Amino acid sequence: MVRGPGQAADFWSGVGVDLQHNPDAPAGRRAGLEHALRDAVREGRLAPGTRLPATRRLAAELGISRGTAKAAYDQLVAEGYLTARQGSGTEVAPLPSDAVPPAADDTRARAPRFDLRPGSPDVGAFPAAAWLRAMRRAIATAPSLAYDYGDPRGRIELRTALSGYLSRARGVLAPPDRIVITSGYVQGLALLTRVLDGGAVAMEDPGSPFHRDVVRRNGGSVVPVRVDERGACADELEDASAVVVTPAHQYPTGVTLHPERRRALTDWARAGGGLIVENDYDGEFRYDRQPLGALQGMAPNHVVYLGTASKTLGPALRLGWMVLPPHLVDAVADAKLHSDHHTESMGQLALAEMVTGHAYDRHVRAGRLRYRRRRDQLLDLLGPGRDVRGIAAGLHALVDVEDEAEVLARAEAEGLAVGRLGDHWHTPGMSASSGNGRPQGLVIGYGTPRERAYTEALEVLGKVLEGTAAGGR
């Protein structure tokens, strides 16, 4: 609160309100007082029925004329915010409910007690110390131009670091001049959809409904491509100009794209000029053997590779990357320029420091061990009698059940949140129980909970699943 000349220290002490009045407001003292009072009423800091100071006292405390104070009161009486009756003084008027802004939506209040939904890593394991060291080095060595508008493709330091990392860790052919840095995977998918200019995009069924919405909202049309135990069915792409796949660990079924399907996809792209979009969202996390190389290495001129730091470090960093065929680089860079100009530079430089200094590799290795331990705990809980898929890699598993609705109702009653396979089909509401042969299941994310909460979350999951039968395929 800014007090005017001569304003008493106990101003509004009778009503317990900080008026937040600025007597030197550019619009003038009367307008400034009106604004401060109006906001206090709207925001509920001055409750209906609150009696306001007399204009003489108000003027003395604010160091303004009594006429200015009276004019402000009169204006707010005319607008309905205040009431004034002879002999009773001035009070705050009751407002209709739609004139009062709703309380802030606090999502934390609605957060489940136990969260096993897929899609997030354990953000409590973010390498804060390593990131801080990398950021300090980045700031200390950054040229002054790093604080100016930059190349829409991203900082060359990060593109160069990623070129080496993706080559050795994921088998991606990624020259720095074919990499575009994005603000996460979603922006990369949106930019690519705009560049494709409305073509039909095939997307896995089941798959992420949010990613389908991203394509549609950016001008693309979506057609389903069926997923079976070998991954996406490449023989169902006749009507598509592009296909989005998750070959390393299909979301949400967890299957790995079979080598024959890999060849079929790349043959389809070469034969008809189609485009494969590879979402390598959790390719670093494979537990039972070495991570599979990216599909992009088989056909670098026909595959757009999309990667992200969201699962390895944390979604809040908003750092992703696209490795593009040569003919798409300029178009995507132009779309990025006209979207947000470029992704913020300091985070890029810090990530480049972590990659080149191998702190990123160390963090990924530690995460792989941590998530494998969690996966093993999940499998121990479920036991040998339940069908579980997708356990060789990633941060989630698919657990078959006979009745999703029944199990989800139990979970909600216990304060447990899990993913539902039924939400991922292109045609919602269809399942095995409706006669179409589709399996039902729970998508269990074992990355989301903090370390100390995971064991308790598994105990609740075991209670929810107790007595329920596994679904069949």
Domain ranges, ordered by start, for the chain: 1-102, 114-120+364-465, 126-357
User: For 416, phi and psi rounded to 5 degrees?
Assistant: -110, 130
Distance CA(192)–CA(413), nearest Å, equals 42
DSSP string of 197-213, one letter each residue: TS-EEEEEES--HHHHH
- List the single range of 173-177, 180-184, 245-249, 292-296 with lowest mean pLDDT: 292-296
Q: What is the SS3 assignment for 126?
A: coil
Domain 126-357 has CATH 1.10.10.10: no
pLDDT higher than 90, residue 432: no
Between β-strands 416-420 and 114-116, what pairing exists: parallel, antiparallel or unpaired? parallel
- pLDDT tens figures, 114-142: 999 999 999 999 999 999 999 999 999 99
- pLDDT tens figures, 246-266: 999 999 999 999 999 999 999
Mean pLDDT for 318-347 is 97
Distance CA(204)–CA(259), nearest Å, equals 17
> Which of 177, 185, 186, 189 minimizes the C-alpha distance to 152?
177
| 442 within 8 A of 418, measured Cβ to Cβ | yes
- pLDDT tens figures, 35-51: 888 888 888 888 898 88
Q: Within a 13 Å sphere around the CA of 315, how many CA atoms are in the beta-carbon half? A: 11
The pLDDT of residue 8? 38
> Which of 185, 186, 188, 180 minimizes the C-alpha distance to 159?
180
Write out the H or E segment, with its range, that includes residue 386: none
Mean pLDDT for 422-442 is 74
Q: What is the SS3 assignment for 266?
A: helix
DSSP string of 340-378, one letter each residue: HSS--HHHHHHHHHHHHTTHHHHHHHHHHHHHHHHHHHH
| End-to-end Cα, the chain, rounded Å | 66
pLDDT higher than 90, residue 5: no
pLDDT higher than 90, residue 375: yes
> Which of 310, 353, 331, 302 minimizes the C-alpha distance to 123?
310
- pLDDT tens figures, 268-296: 999 999 999 999 999 899 998 777 889 99
Q: How many CB atoms lie within 10 A of CB 318?
A: 17
- pLDDT tens figures, 137-171: 999 999 999 999 999 999 999 999 999 999 999 99
The pLDDT of residue 35? 87
CATH of domain 1-102: 1.10.10.10
How far is CA 327 from its chain centroid?
Answer: 30
- Lookup: tokens for 46: 């001055």
Distance CA(426)–CA(268), nearest Å, equals 23
> Which of 349, 303, 315, 359 minimizes the C-alpha distance to 159?
349
The pLDDT of residue 471? 53
CB burial of residue 238 (10 Å; 0-12, 13-18, 19+): exposed
Residue 79's pLDDT band (cuts 50, 70, 90): confident
Sign of CA dihedral 231, 416, 414, 462: positive
Q: Which residues of 132-151 are buried (b: 16+ CB within 10 A; e: fewer)?
A: ebbbebbeeebeeebeeebb
Residue predicted with more confidence, 22 or 170: 170
Which long-range contacts does 421-430 make (Cβ < 8 Å, 24+ apart)? Answer: 421/206, 421/252, 423/209, 424/206, 424/207, 424/208, 424/209, 424/252, 425/205, 425/206, 426/203, 426/205, 426/206, 426/207, 426/212, 426/222, 426/224
Between β-strands 179-182 and 320-323, what pairing exists: parallel, antiparallel or unpaired? antiparallel
Superfamily of domain 114-120+364-465 in the CATH hierarchy = Aspartate Aminotransferase, domain 1 (3.90.1150.10)
Percent of the chain with pLDDT over 90: 68
The pLDDT of residue 343? 96
How far is CA 408 from its chain centroid?
Answer: 23
| 65 within 8 A of 59, measured Cβ to Cβ | yes
Between β-strands 440-445 and 396-401, what pairing exists: parallel, antiparallel or unpaired? antiparallel
pLDDT higher than 70, residue 431: no
The pLDDT of residue 385? 81
Between β-strands 388-389 and 396-401, what pairing exists: parallel, antiparallel or unpaired? antiparallel
pLDDT higher than 80, residue 106: no
Residue 3's pLDDT band (cuts 50, 70, 90): very low
How far is CA 122 from its chain centroid?
Answer: 14
Distance CA(28)–CA(387), nearest Å, equals 72
DSSP 98: G
Write out the H or E segment, with its range, that includes residue 161: helix 156-170
Sign of CA dihedral 152, 153, 156, 158: positive
